[in-house]
Structure 1
Amino acid sequence: MPGQGGNIGMAAVAQAKPDGYTLGIAPAGALTVNPHLNSSMPFELKDLAPITLLAEIPFVLVASADIPAHSTSETIALAKAKPGALSIGHGGNSTAMHLTAALFTQKTGIAMELVPYRGTAPATVDVLAGHVPFAVLDIPASRQLILEGKLNAIGVSSARRLPSLPDVPTLAESGIAGFESVGWFGLVAPAGTPADVIGRLNLAFTKALKDPSVVEKIRTLGAEPAPTSPEQFARFIQSESTKWGKLISEAGIKAN
């Protein structure tokens, strides 16, 4: 049930009978970003029962091949030498890639224009052509271009290095302490679903997420499996909501 950045689907789950037969694939934005961008929401977090985080979607900050920056320190130095003259392309206002770019400029204290595109593809085309010097891209769109040397990989946004780009450091290990920004999807049920049902669903899904064939398939989609307990997922949702709410407020980010 698409629409409103995941709000329509999550509202349908929230209003469903809590018997374990209606579940929702919850996108990060619907649970942790949209509530900070919309004055009214068709559901509240308390209307949903977390089951498990399913997968995280990391991003990578890249530079055009002709930009003299191959690391986080070189990017910061270049931006400080040309305050306000450089820009970072991303996949659209209020998307996870937009928030990643905003978090990067906030944590580094550099002035760079954030340029929204209608998705990853046009952002990739423009950074590849040098029309925009930097961009936050997803892994499927950027990996081969990085391996071929057509884009400079500055750093990945996840807390750990990625198996698909093992030689690219994280932004956190490159000097931006505590940096982590990923898109993600999780599994939720209507609030009031019996605890034993939640437990059985969690066991089944977390087992599947550790199956080597499932892990391989998820990684081909540019994501990383991330099974959790229901309690861990609940804490993760709250921490993500707090982090992005603070950034959205401080950066003055508005909904499209």
Structure 2
Amino acid sequence: MHAVQIKEHGGPEVMRWTELPDPTPGPGEVLVRLGVAGVNYMDTGARAQGGPGWAAPAVLGAEGMGYVTTLGAGVGGLAAGDRVAWFCHPGSYAELLAIPADSLVKVPHGIVDETAAAVMLQGIAASHLSTEAYPVKPGHTAVVHAAAGGVGLLLTQMIKARGGKVIGLVSLDAAQAVARELLRHWQAQLTAGIRDMQDIGEIAPGLDADREAAALLAGVQGGVMILMTTGGMEHLEAALDQGIAHLRGAPAASPSAAPA
């Protein structure tokens, strides 16, 4: 088989299409022929800097979908030819993978291969934010950072499905077009022209450039206003400084937010 391997950390040029021995599934494992590999930002960090589990030499990738070819001893509930997906198996940029059976999810009929490969990691993040980190309920308003990104698009749909209201933050013109297409479908509202969450202080009444954003935020009455972001603590801290991420109304009065 072949795989995308690095023998040292660095830029894209360190990636090599390398011939490697075929893996053999052990007990509790499944041999999967790759269909589509998920490509995530974390893969660039593994390539460039490494980290736990990513010491060179290494095969990159952690997410994907494929087709079951062989079952290891003790595996049940799967059969050759089944379409499966996974979100955390290091070395997923490979033609063949031996993956623990309990790490695999059957792909339902009607879900195309590319969607199955792309939705696992981002879908779990969006689900966690909207159901566990802060369970969204009808009447809640969520400010979704990077609403046109993979997590943002899924998160927006999950919040709306749970009865919440979405204010989406985007930066680029192209991102606005993507987000508006989805948010129009869900009748959500989009705050456009926000370059970065660090500039959130510009969202205030009286600033002509962000009048639309100010009106959206000022119009939230009662319920819960929460920030949902996978962008890191700098975004959360900037929002808290401006009073964007907090609870409004009873019973809580202290700042609250739902970081990734």
TM-score (norm 2): 0.29
| Structure with greater strand share of residues | 2
| Structure with greater helix share of residues | 1
Q: Work out which of the two has the higher radius of gyration on C-alpha atoms and give 1 or 2.
A: 2
Q: Which has the higher contact order (CA 8 A, sep 6+)?
A: 1
